Structure 1
């Protein structure tokens, strides 16, 4: 299979990273700017980006559908004189369905083009010229059809390929458990995929075997639909409130620190090396950076700042062997893991995939310590792209 790579002049669409910085009062002005730009495809895709950020998911997806009827290749607004041209293979869907790469390349010399893959449709006859390609589609039930068709398409790809689809497919919660469960120094909750019928049967029992455990709908993200089950009655109530047909169940592991708070760390493994993205601290066992209200707690931000400063000699050093083995098992060039430490000092893994939100959009006046840490992470991502380019150039026929 051969591919025609062509230099393309593409009118860029707005970056989600830039949109995330936009204050609410500037939205009308931004919409006016979007409407004034040429091209229906970009108009629709810009609206998808905008309403994904500002909370109208249904309308955003409608706009994306209209955009993809017009075209499947889009360029993210960024460097006008790029040193690296990156092509990302995307799946249709909302902001959680693909790796949010525009946050990683913001204010760099990397040009990011997005190629959306439509199930049942061939690749375009002409593809944008690029230096490196990365599979950005994340593992999920709705993306599986796209991912399963990718590897035959990219066997003869004319440029280096990062994050092959066959490894992304291993990032389902149950597969990650199977991949990592026997690693020394690491704890990962036993996780299995179950049907609604199986959970209904459990809810009819007098006792709840294996409780406490957690349950969540199959493709849910950001804690949506996640609950801790302590009894058969609690499971029955959960199922009454959910219309999902398939779920993941996991053993609940209490990872509270001595002060009673829960701490969850987000790490990007880039070319096998760990880079911290955030430390979230919360009273609740479901820890997400937003719900942890870090902005309201100066002492938690101070702890996060110290954690980031000491990460290489602290957390990353304590768990260096476990993190290295995780990278070796998952075989992804870029993967984001959410993790913590158990009371016994093990690395506790919650999930691992390519879609975790890694960014530098928190207000600098409240989080001044984050910028240097995130720039280090972004530089590592750029270095990974350069390394892939140079490895290909060194093996090219002279």
Structure 2
């Protein structure tokens, strides 16, 4: 059954094209598999004129996984110009539910990697790319529940606007509403969460290169950018993630040196928070929020403040992994219980059905929030021999996610479109 939805510039009756997809290809790359033979096979299919649209999208992802981001995005844009709907087959021949993910034409990190959350389940995933100049089709493919997977990035804003326009008439439950995703941008998130009791989130302000240059030369003071700002401060190019361009600058001279190495024109700045534990180590936590409930995703432990999981080298420290295992095992009655009120209020204000939070505890014991987004990778790729405590925890998150989808789908059964 196809569902009508009013949208400008729409095509009719879309048909899906199968693809290998994000989860399988990323897993192959993560485990050290050689993607080059598959790339050559797909290139040959394209040269012969026999390639399907889904194969073209797989080729785009392979190029990105091999470090050829620009080439991959060119391929993706070319494919999406003539085909926008793709299927990632599920683990069973007859799915019990069909989920429609609404994505944007952006790099592989710009949409929620929902395939990992559904991997091995009996839920079929259709991904509809909302493309500039094409928009939504006049009729939507049959689905039980839809979820917006586009991010708060500038490249996704047109897609989010198109979805938001159609949202009031959406024929099935629509999760992660587009108007809420925009609140995850760093400066907006601060304004949303600034006065939550028990939660510490530094003022994050936009600063232009001209402003930071003036600050580095002593022509303006930190307070002229935002009243809370002072040295040392954190600076990063606007729109970047995963630590790209992130730096702590201790004084004006360090800021001047930083700017000399960067080409960007817009940045985010915030006060530096020393969140080291009494033992001198930093502990950065990733939470997955599903249906308003927090789940431990990982805890990275390192002697540096700018942690993400890979640079904490957790795989090489039995002691760190033992602490992470305890953190996960005791999460509900320890970390989640300590910060229950802050987590509940944060979830209520953000309002999304599914999102990820990178956080820590500050030296006053408050929940220190670094960022929240809907596109961080939550996966089960870590080797069980090294991380035996992780598969059960990841399965718990995946089960919560699929249960949330089922709850919304069931709630709409009595009110069919």
Mapping of 1:311-326 within 5 angstroms?
311-326=331-346
Aligned to 2:184: 171
What's the offset of the Cα at 1:145? 2.4
CA change 1:151–1:11 in 2 (3 A) is closer
| Match status 1:270 vs 2:290 | yes
| Match status 1:21 vs 2:33 | no
CA change 1:77–1:54 in 2 (3 A) is farther
Mapping of 1:89-168 within 5 angstroms?
89-168=102-181
Aligned to 1:309: 329
TM-score, scaled to structure 2: 0.90
Structure 1 residues without counterparts, runs of 5 or longer: none
Aligned to 2:267: 247
Find the aligned partners of 2:298 and 2:362 in 1 and give their Cα distance. 18
What's the offset of the Cα at 1:25? 4.6
Match of 1:355 among 351, 372, 375: 375
What's the offset of the Cα at 1:384? 0.6
Alpha carbons 2:95, 2:124 under 8 Å: kept: yes
The 10-residue stretch of structure 1 (47-56 or 275-284) with the greater mean CA deviation from structure 2: 47-56
CA change 1:51–1:301 in 2 (3 A) is farther
Aligned to 2:318: 298
Find the aligned partners of 1:8 and 1:304 in 2 and give their Cα distance. 46
What's the offset of the Cα at 1:153? 1.4
TM-score, scaled to structure 1: 0.94
The CA RMSD measured in Å over matched residues stands at 2.2
Q: Give the secondary structure class of the aligned counterpart of 2:391.
A: helix
| Match status 1:55 vs 2:67 | yes
What's the offset of the Cα at 1:208? 6.6
What's the offset of the Cα at 1:395? 4.7
Mapping of 1:24-103 within 5 angstroms?
24-31=32-39, 34=42, 39-79=51-91, 80-103=93-116
Q: Give the secondary structure class of the aligned counterpart of 1:143.
A: helix
Aligned to 1:204: 217
What's the offset of the Cα at 1:111? 1.0
What's the offset of the Cα at 1:110? 1.3
Q: Give the secondary structure class of the aligned counterpart of 2:413.
A: helix
Q: Give the secondary structure class of the aligned counterpart of 1:21.
A: helix
Q: Give the secondary structure class of the aligned counterpart of 1:267.
A: strand
Count of matched residue pairs: 397
Alpha carbons 1:336, 1:356 under 8 Å: kept: yes
Question: CA deviation digits over 1:46-68, x for unaligned, max 9?
Answer: 11222333322122212212211
Alpha carbons 1:2, 1:156 under 8 Å: kept: no
Q: Give the secondary structure class of the aligned counterpart of 2:412.
A: helix
Alpha carbons 1:97, 1:137 under 8 Å: kept: yes
Aligned to 2:206: 193
Find the aligned partners of 1:121 and 1:347 in 2 and give their Cα distance. 43
Aligned to 2:227: none
Alpha carbons 2:13, 2:138 under 8 Å: kept: no
Aligned to 1:279: 299
Match of 1:345 among 360, 365, 389: 365
What's the offset of the Cα at 1:34? 4.5
Match of 2:4 among 2, 5, 13: 2
Alpha carbons 1:87, 1:130 under 8 Å: kept: yes
Match of 2:251 among 231, 239, 243: 231
What's the offset of the Cα at 1:15? 2.6
What's the offset of the Cα at 1:21? 2.5
Alpha carbons 1:170, 1:330 under 8 Å: kept: yes
Question: CA deviation digits over 1:161-210, x for unaligned, max 9?
Answer: 00111100111101110011101111011111121111111111089741
Find the aligned partners of 2:116 and 2:41 in 1 and give their Cα distance. 21
Alpha carbons 2:287, 2:356 under 8 Å: kept: yes
Structure 2 residues without counterparts, runs of 5 or longer: 223-229
What's the offset of the Cα at 1:8? 7.3
